[in-house]
Structure 1
Amino acid sequence: MTSQAREGACAFAWRNYLLFHSGISENDNRRSALYRYVANLPDTGGDNFDLLQIVAVAYLKKLDELHDERCARLAADQVLAECLETQGTTHHEA
């Protein structure tokens, strides 16, 4: 992971995840799965920190719900696509 925005988004999502899941180890496999997912995201318009945070949190939530990394990636990718579409609509209206 090369960008500070990506690293920061992962750290934010993981800290929040641990707040709601007190029995989880700091080095849980979900953490490395999160970092892999965010590191492999396509460019999100200059690595938009807010957008990366949303997607990172969505990924962890879906990972818990679906118990499958591939399904969680697909669900989080959908959240990313919706956010990017909303941003595009907002920018075109301005």
Structure 2
Amino acid sequence: MAPTKPAVPATKPQAKKPQIRGKGLKKKKVQLRFVIDCTHPSEDSILDVANFEQYLKTRIKINGKTGNFAGGKGAQHSVTLGREKGTKIILNSEIPFSKR
């Protein structure tokens, strides 16, 4: 008699169950961080970083309104703008924000 292979049942790989969107799932929080390095323009006296920061605070629109840094829908400080080391301006946003 010829040797035979032992009978092993063929198993199919189990497919992942599709997760139904419902009450249990929450969206991921959007974290955007933009850094503007003003080192060279400020060293050459071309740009004053404090004035540029104030300009951005007055011009950035949040929810269709300029100067609206308090946030909306109960969110405190959804967009923040600040300086780091005197030459870098950092913009943090927890809401979708235009990159233009």
TM-score normalised by the chain length of structure 1: 0.28
Structure with a larger share of its residues in helix = 1
Computing the radius of gyration over CA atoms, which structure comes out larger, 1 or 2? 2
TM-score normalised by the chain length of structure 2: 0.27
